[in-house]
Amino acid sequence: MADLNELSEKLALLKQEIEGEIKNLSNSKVAFEYRKGLMDSKTGKIGTLMREMGKIPNELKAEYGKKVNEIKMWAQDRFEELESKLKEAEMAERYNSETIDVTLPAKMRPIGNLHPNTQVRNQIVDIFGSMGFEIYEGNEIETDYYNFSALNIPKDHPARDMQDTFYLSPEFLLRTQTSAGQIHVMEEKKPPIKVISPGKVFRSDDDATHSPMFSQMEGLVVDKGITLCDLQGMLDVFVQKIFGEDTKTRLRPSYFPFTEPSVEVDVSCFQCHGKGCKLCKGTGWIEVLGAGVVNKKVLEGCGIDSNVYSGLAFGIGIDRIAMLKYGINNIKLLFESDLRVLNQIND
Ligand code: PHE
Protein backbone atom coordinates (compact mmCIF):
# COMPACT_ATOMS: atom_id res chain seq x y z
CA MET A 1 0.00 0.00 0.00
CA ALA A 2 1.81 2.96 -1.35
CA ASP A 3 0.06 5.77 0.42
CA LEU A 4 -2.58 6.27 2.94
CA ASN A 5 -5.04 7.79 0.52
CA GLU A 6 -5.56 4.40 -0.95
CA LEU A 7 -6.17 3.05 2.54
CA SER A 8 -8.61 5.83 3.32
CA GLU A 9 -10.57 5.03 0.19
CA LYS A 10 -10.54 1.37 0.99
CA LEU A 11 -11.77 2.07 4.52
CA ALA A 12 -14.49 4.40 3.27
CA LEU A 13 -15.72 1.68 0.92
CA LEU A 14 -15.56 -0.84 3.71
CA LYS A 15 -17.63 1.45 5.94
CA GLN A 16 -20.19 1.80 3.16
CA GLU A 17 -20.27 -1.94 2.71
CA ILE A 18 -20.77 -2.48 6.44
CA GLU A 19 -23.53 0.15 6.63
CA GLY A 20 -25.28 -1.58 3.73
CA GLU A 21 -24.92 -4.95 5.37
CA ILE A 22 -26.16 -3.70 8.76
CA LYS A 23 -29.57 -2.94 7.23
CA ASN A 24 -30.02 -6.64 6.52
CA LEU A 25 -29.11 -7.78 10.01
CA SER A 26 -32.54 -8.55 11.37
CA ASN A 27 -31.68 -10.12 14.71
CA SER A 28 -28.97 -10.02 17.33
CA LYS A 29 -27.72 -13.49 16.46
CA VAL A 30 -26.90 -12.71 12.81
CA ALA A 31 -25.52 -9.32 13.89
CA PHE A 32 -23.15 -11.07 16.31
CA GLU A 33 -22.04 -13.55 13.65
CA TYR A 34 -21.42 -10.83 11.10
CA ARG A 35 -19.45 -8.75 13.57
CA LYS A 36 -17.40 -11.78 14.58
CA GLY A 37 -16.55 -12.46 10.93
CA LEU A 38 -15.59 -8.87 10.32
CA MET A 39 -13.23 -8.76 13.29
CA ASP A 40 -11.65 -12.19 12.79
CA SER A 41 -7.90 -11.66 12.77
CA LYS A 42 -7.33 -14.23 10.03
CA THR A 43 -10.27 -13.75 7.70
CA GLY A 44 -12.15 -10.63 8.78
CA LYS A 45 -12.12 -7.51 6.66
CA ILE A 46 -11.30 -5.37 9.68
CA GLY A 47 -9.48 -8.04 11.69
CA THR A 48 -6.84 -8.60 9.01
CA LEU A 49 -5.99 -4.91 8.52
CA MET A 50 -3.51 -4.96 11.40
CA ARG A 51 -1.64 -7.88 9.93
CA GLU A 52 -0.89 -5.81 6.89
CA MET A 53 1.08 -3.39 9.05
CA GLY A 54 4.20 -5.32 8.02
CA LYS A 55 3.90 -4.14 4.45
CA ILE A 56 3.58 -0.51 5.44
CA PRO A 57 6.67 1.72 5.29
CA ASN A 58 7.89 2.67 8.73
CA GLU A 59 7.09 6.37 8.48
CA LEU A 60 3.45 5.61 7.65
CA LYS A 61 2.97 2.93 10.25
CA ALA A 62 1.73 5.27 13.00
CA GLU A 63 -0.84 6.91 10.72
CA TYR A 64 -1.91 3.56 9.33
CA GLY A 65 -2.41 2.14 12.79
CA LYS A 66 -4.46 5.18 13.78
CA LYS A 67 -6.78 4.81 10.79
CA VAL A 68 -7.22 1.09 11.32
CA ASN A 69 -7.97 1.72 14.99
CA GLU A 70 -10.48 4.37 14.02
CA ILE A 71 -12.47 2.03 11.82
CA LYS A 72 -12.24 -0.64 14.49
CA MET A 73 -13.67 1.75 17.06
CA TRP A 74 -16.29 2.96 14.62
CA ALA A 75 -17.37 -0.59 13.85
CA GLN A 76 -17.48 -1.44 17.52
CA ASP A 77 -19.70 1.57 18.32
CA ARG A 78 -21.89 0.88 15.34
CA PHE A 79 -22.44 -2.74 16.30
CA GLU A 80 -23.03 -1.97 19.96
CA GLU A 81 -25.69 0.49 18.95
CA LEU A 82 -27.21 -1.99 16.53
CA GLU A 83 -27.14 -4.90 18.96
CA SER A 84 -28.75 -2.93 21.76
CA LYS A 85 -31.51 -1.83 19.37
CA LEU A 86 -32.08 -5.37 18.16
CA LYS A 87 -32.06 -6.76 21.71
CA GLU A 88 -34.55 -4.17 22.82
CA ALA A 89 -36.87 -5.06 19.94
CA GLU A 90 -36.47 -8.76 20.62
CA MET A 91 -37.25 -8.26 24.30
CA ALA A 92 -40.34 -6.23 23.48
CA GLU A 93 -41.51 -8.92 21.10
CA ARG A 94 -40.93 -11.60 23.73
CA TYR A 95 -42.87 -9.66 26.35
CA ASN A 96 -45.64 -9.28 23.83
CA SER A 97 -45.83 -12.91 22.84
CA GLU A 98 -45.51 -14.20 26.38
CA THR A 99 -48.01 -11.86 27.98
CA ILE A 100 -50.54 -13.55 30.23
CA ASP A 101 -53.95 -11.90 30.21
CA VAL A 102 -54.75 -11.88 33.90
CA THR A 103 -58.11 -10.26 33.23
CA LEU A 104 -59.44 -13.40 31.56
CA PRO A 105 -62.37 -14.66 33.69
CA ALA A 106 -61.63 -17.94 35.45
CA LYS A 107 -63.49 -21.07 34.42
CA MET A 108 -66.60 -21.25 36.58
CA ARG A 109 -67.08 -24.47 38.46
CA PRO A 110 -70.79 -25.06 38.90
CA ILE A 111 -71.70 -25.62 42.51
CA GLY A 112 -75.05 -26.83 43.67
CA ASN A 113 -77.50 -25.44 46.18
CA LEU A 114 -79.12 -27.16 49.08
CA HIS A 115 -82.45 -28.62 48.02
CA PRO A 116 -85.34 -26.17 48.66
CA ASN A 117 -86.78 -28.61 51.18
CA THR A 118 -83.44 -28.77 52.98
CA GLN A 119 -83.19 -24.98 53.00
CA VAL A 120 -86.67 -24.67 54.53
CA ARG A 121 -86.03 -27.50 56.98
CA ASN A 122 -82.81 -25.82 58.15
CA GLN A 123 -84.62 -22.51 58.56
CA ILE A 124 -87.38 -24.13 60.62
CA VAL A 125 -84.85 -26.00 62.73
CA ASP A 126 -83.01 -22.71 63.36
CA ILE A 127 -86.19 -20.89 64.33
CA PHE A 128 -87.41 -23.50 66.80
CA GLY A 129 -83.87 -24.25 67.89
CA SER A 130 -83.59 -20.61 68.99
CA MET A 131 -86.75 -21.13 71.09
CA GLY A 132 -85.08 -24.03 72.90
CA PHE A 133 -86.51 -27.00 70.97
CA GLU A 134 -84.48 -30.19 70.69
CA ILE A 135 -84.46 -32.36 67.58
CA TYR A 136 -85.83 -35.88 67.61
CA GLU A 137 -85.29 -38.12 64.60
CA GLY A 138 -88.09 -40.62 64.27
CA ASN A 139 -88.41 -43.83 62.22
CA GLU A 140 -89.69 -43.96 58.67
CA ILE A 141 -90.98 -47.49 59.23
CA GLU A 142 -93.45 -47.55 62.09
CA THR A 143 -95.89 -49.89 63.67
CA ASP A 144 -99.60 -49.37 63.39
CA TYR A 145 -99.56 -48.58 67.10
CA TYR A 146 -97.24 -45.54 66.92
CA ASN A 147 -98.62 -44.14 63.67
CA PHE A 148 -102.30 -44.60 64.58
CA SER A 149 -103.55 -46.36 67.72
CA ALA A 150 -101.41 -44.46 70.22
CA LEU A 151 -102.49 -41.24 68.51
CA ASN A 152 -106.10 -42.04 69.33
CA ILE A 153 -106.84 -43.43 65.86
CA PRO A 154 -108.01 -46.97 66.63
CA LYS A 155 -108.48 -49.57 63.90
CA ASP A 156 -111.54 -48.91 61.78
CA HIS A 157 -111.64 -45.28 62.94
CA PRO A 158 -112.80 -43.13 60.03
CA ALA A 159 -109.84 -40.78 60.63
CA ARG A 160 -107.60 -43.44 59.10
CA ASP A 161 -109.19 -42.58 55.78
CA MET A 162 -107.59 -39.14 56.02
CA GLN A 163 -104.22 -40.72 55.30
CA ASP A 164 -103.92 -43.39 52.60
CA THR A 165 -101.36 -45.71 54.09
CA PHE A 166 -98.62 -47.87 52.59
CA TYR A 167 -98.79 -51.01 54.73
CA LEU A 168 -95.71 -53.26 54.77
CA SER A 169 -97.55 -55.92 56.77
CA PRO A 170 -100.64 -55.83 58.98
CA GLU A 171 -98.40 -54.49 61.75
CA PHE A 172 -95.75 -52.39 59.95
CA LEU A 173 -96.23 -49.40 57.68
CA LEU A 174 -94.45 -46.38 56.22
CA ARG A 175 -95.31 -43.60 58.63
CA THR A 176 -97.98 -41.28 57.28
CA GLN A 177 -97.14 -38.50 59.72
CA THR A 178 -94.23 -37.43 61.91
CA SER A 179 -96.78 -37.39 64.75
CA ALA A 180 -95.76 -41.03 65.29
CA GLY A 181 -92.56 -39.59 66.79
CA GLN A 182 -94.59 -37.78 69.48
CA ILE A 183 -95.39 -41.11 71.12
CA HIS A 184 -91.74 -42.26 71.12
CA VAL A 185 -90.66 -38.95 72.67
CA MET A 186 -93.33 -39.05 75.38
CA GLU A 187 -92.49 -42.66 76.19
CA GLU A 188 -88.79 -41.88 76.47
CA LYS A 189 -88.81 -38.48 78.16
CA LYS A 190 -90.50 -36.95 81.13
CA PRO A 191 -91.97 -33.43 80.82
CA PRO A 192 -90.91 -30.71 80.28
CA ILE A 193 -90.69 -31.77 76.64
CA LYS A 194 -89.90 -29.40 73.79
CA VAL A 195 -88.98 -31.18 70.55
CA ILE A 196 -89.24 -30.81 66.83
CA SER A 197 -88.97 -33.82 64.58
CA PRO A 198 -88.31 -33.42 60.86
CA GLY A 199 -88.59 -36.30 58.43
CA LYS A 200 -90.11 -38.01 55.42
CA VAL A 201 -93.66 -39.30 55.50
CA PHE A 202 -95.54 -41.44 52.98
CA ARG A 203 -99.10 -41.47 51.69
CA SER A 204 -100.64 -43.02 48.65
CA ASP A 205 -101.45 -39.66 47.15
CA ASP A 206 -100.26 -38.08 43.92
CA ASP A 207 -101.23 -34.82 42.22
CA ALA A 208 -99.83 -31.32 41.58
CA THR A 209 -99.60 -30.53 45.29
CA HIS A 210 -99.25 -34.03 46.75
CA SER A 211 -96.49 -36.58 46.38
CA PRO A 212 -96.38 -40.15 47.81
CA MET A 213 -93.33 -39.05 49.78
CA PHE A 214 -93.09 -35.66 51.39
CA SER A 215 -91.54 -34.03 54.44
CA GLN A 216 -93.03 -32.85 57.67
CA MET A 217 -91.79 -31.12 60.80
CA GLU A 218 -93.52 -32.20 63.97
CA GLY A 219 -93.49 -30.00 67.04
CA LEU A 220 -94.36 -31.11 70.56
CA VAL A 221 -94.35 -29.22 73.83
CA VAL A 222 -95.50 -30.83 77.09
CA ASP A 223 -95.29 -28.99 80.39
CA LYS A 224 -97.43 -27.59 83.17
CA GLY A 225 -99.95 -25.02 81.98
CA ILE A 226 -99.42 -25.25 78.23
CA THR A 227 -102.35 -23.75 76.28
CA LEU A 228 -103.42 -22.86 72.77
CA CYS A 229 -102.06 -19.34 73.43
CA ASP A 230 -98.54 -20.76 73.68
CA LEU A 231 -99.10 -22.47 70.37
CA GLN A 232 -100.20 -19.29 68.64
CA GLY A 233 -97.33 -17.29 70.17
CA MET A 234 -94.75 -19.76 68.89
CA LEU A 235 -96.34 -20.04 65.48
CA ASP A 236 -96.46 -16.24 65.14
CA VAL A 237 -92.71 -16.09 65.58
CA PHE A 238 -92.29 -18.99 63.16
CA VAL A 239 -94.37 -17.52 60.31
CA GLN A 240 -92.87 -14.05 60.73
CA LYS A 241 -89.38 -15.46 60.37
CA ILE A 242 -90.32 -17.65 57.40
CA PHE A 243 -92.67 -15.39 55.44
CA GLY A 244 -91.87 -11.89 56.70
CA GLU A 245 -92.29 -9.65 59.74
CA ASP A 246 -95.86 -8.53 59.00
CA THR A 247 -97.27 -12.05 58.59
CA LYS A 248 -100.19 -12.90 60.90
CA THR A 249 -101.70 -16.22 61.91
CA ARG A 250 -105.33 -17.27 62.12
CA LEU A 251 -106.52 -20.41 63.87
CA ARG A 252 -109.52 -22.25 62.46
CA PRO A 253 -111.28 -25.12 64.25
CA SER A 254 -110.40 -28.47 62.78
CA TYR A 255 -110.19 -32.12 63.74
CA PHE A 256 -107.31 -34.44 64.53
CA PRO A 257 -107.92 -37.39 66.86
CA PHE A 258 -104.68 -36.72 68.78
CA THR A 259 -105.36 -33.06 69.59
CA GLU A 260 -108.31 -31.49 71.36
CA PRO A 261 -109.06 -28.79 70.43
CA SER A 262 -107.55 -29.04 66.95
CA VAL A 263 -106.85 -26.16 64.60
CA GLU A 264 -105.75 -25.44 61.07
CA VAL A 265 -103.34 -22.53 61.03
CA ASP A 266 -103.58 -19.98 58.23
CA VAL A 267 -101.10 -17.19 57.53
CA SER A 268 -102.02 -13.83 56.07
CA CYS A 269 -101.06 -13.92 52.39
CA PHE A 270 -97.47 -12.70 52.14
CA GLN A 271 -97.91 -11.94 48.45
CA CYS A 272 -100.97 -9.65 48.47
CA HIS A 273 -100.87 -8.84 52.21
CA GLY A 274 -104.50 -9.81 52.68
CA LYS A 275 -106.03 -8.07 49.67
CA GLY A 276 -106.69 -11.34 47.83
CA CYS A 277 -104.66 -12.82 44.98
CA LYS A 278 -104.16 -16.03 43.03
CA LEU A 279 -101.87 -17.54 45.66
CA CYS A 280 -104.43 -17.16 48.48
CA LYS A 281 -107.32 -17.84 46.08
CA GLY A 282 -108.74 -14.42 46.81
CA THR A 283 -109.19 -15.09 50.54
CA GLY A 284 -106.14 -13.23 51.89
CA TRP A 285 -105.21 -16.35 53.94
CA ILE A 286 -103.12 -19.44 53.21
CA GLU A 287 -103.40 -22.69 55.18
CA VAL A 288 -99.96 -23.81 56.35
CA LEU A 289 -100.25 -26.39 59.10
CA GLY A 290 -102.32 -28.47 61.48
CA ALA A 291 -101.98 -28.20 65.24
CA GLY A 292 -103.73 -28.41 68.57
CA VAL A 293 -103.63 -29.14 72.27
CA VAL A 294 -102.44 -32.69 72.85
CA ASN A 295 -105.41 -34.95 73.53
CA LYS A 296 -105.46 -36.09 77.17
CA LYS A 297 -105.95 -39.69 76.01
CA VAL A 298 -102.62 -39.51 74.16
CA LEU A 299 -100.80 -38.10 77.20
CA GLU A 300 -102.27 -40.76 79.48
CA GLY A 301 -101.41 -43.51 76.99
CA CYS A 302 -97.77 -42.44 77.30
CA GLY A 303 -97.93 -42.41 81.10
CA ILE A 304 -98.11 -38.63 81.50
CA ASP A 305 -100.57 -37.34 84.11
CA SER A 306 -102.99 -35.15 82.15
CA ASN A 307 -104.20 -33.47 85.35
CA VAL A 308 -100.70 -32.07 85.88
CA TYR A 309 -99.40 -31.62 82.36
CA SER A 310 -100.78 -30.39 79.09
CA GLY A 311 -99.20 -30.16 75.67
CA LEU A 312 -99.36 -28.64 72.26
CA ALA A 313 -98.44 -30.19 68.94
CA PHE A 314 -98.11 -29.00 65.38
CA GLY A 315 -97.25 -30.57 62.05
CA ILE A 316 -95.71 -28.43 59.33
CA GLY A 317 -95.58 -29.57 55.71
CA ILE A 318 -92.03 -28.69 54.66
CA ASP A 319 -92.67 -29.14 50.92
CA ARG A 320 -95.76 -26.95 51.19
CA ILE A 321 -93.83 -24.17 52.92
CA ALA A 322 -91.05 -24.42 50.28
CA MET A 323 -93.59 -24.27 47.46
CA LEU A 324 -95.35 -21.27 48.95
CA LYS A 325 -92.17 -19.45 49.85
CA TYR A 326 -90.41 -19.95 46.52
CA GLY A 327 -93.47 -19.80 44.24
CA ILE A 328 -93.27 -23.44 43.10
CA ASN A 329 -96.66 -24.51 41.73
CA ASN A 330 -96.04 -28.22 41.21
CA ILE A 331 -94.56 -30.49 43.86
CA LYS A 332 -92.92 -32.60 41.09
CA LEU A 333 -90.43 -29.73 40.57
CA LEU A 334 -89.01 -30.59 43.99
CA PHE A 335 -88.13 -34.07 42.75
CA GLU A 336 -86.85 -33.35 39.24
CA SER A 337 -83.46 -31.78 40.07
CA ASP A 338 -83.96 -29.27 37.24
CA LEU A 339 -81.10 -26.79 37.66
CA ARG A 340 -83.14 -24.02 36.02
CA VAL A 341 -85.51 -24.28 38.98
CA LEU A 342 -83.03 -25.13 41.74
CA ASN A 343 -80.54 -22.41 40.82
CA GLN A 344 -83.19 -19.78 41.51
CA ILE A 345 -83.57 -20.88 45.10
CA ASN A 346 -80.70 -19.98 47.37
CA ASP A 347 -82.08 -18.55 50.55
N1 PHE B 1 -100.10 -35.13 61.70
C2 PHE B 1 -101.05 -34.21 61.16
C3 PHE B 1 -101.09 -34.41 59.65
O4 PHE B 1 -100.19 -35.00 59.10
C5 PHE B 1 -100.65 -32.77 61.46
C6 PHE B 1 -100.71 -32.46 62.93
C7 PHE B 1 -99.60 -32.61 63.72
C8 PHE B 1 -101.89 -32.01 63.50
C9 PHE B 1 -99.65 -32.31 65.06
C10 PHE B 1 -101.99 -31.72 64.83
C11 PHE B 1 -100.84 -31.84 65.59
O12 PHE B 1 -102.00 -33.99 59.01
Q: Which residues have CB under 6 Å of ligand 1?
A: 177, 179, 256, 259, 290-292, 313-315
- C-alpha 306 to ligand 1 mean position (Å): 20
DSSP state, residue 167? B
Query: Which atom of ligand 1 is closest in space to residue 179's alpha carbon?
Result: 1
What is the percent of the chain with per-residue pLDDT over 70, rounded to a whole number?
A: 99
Q: Is 236 helix (H, G, I), strand (E, B) or coil?
A: helix
Whether residue 1 has pLDDT greater than 70: no
Is the distance from CB of 325 to CB of 120 less than 8 angstroms? yes
Whether residue 167 has pLDDT greater than 80: yes
- Spatial neighbors of 60 by CB under 8 A, at least 6 apart, are 3, 4
Q: Is 185 helix (H, G, I), strand (E, B) or coil?
A: helix
- State how far the Cα of 36 lies from the Cα of 193, in Å rounded to an integer: 98
How do residues 311-342 score in pLDDT, each as one tens digit? 999 999 999 999 999 989 899 999 998 888 88
Model pTM?
0.70
What is the predicted pLDDT for the residue at 2? 53
- C-alpha 277 to ligand 1 mean position (Å): 27
* 93 CB burial (10 A radius; 0-12, 13-18, 19+): exposed
Test site for ligand 1: of 146, 177, 182, 259, most ligand atoms within 8 A of the Cβ: 177
How do residues 36-90 score in pLDDT, each as one tens digit? 999 988 888 888 888 888 888 888 888 888 988 999 999 999 999 999 999 999 9
How do residues 92-121 score in pLDDT, each as one tens digit? 999 999 988 888 888 888 888 899 999 999
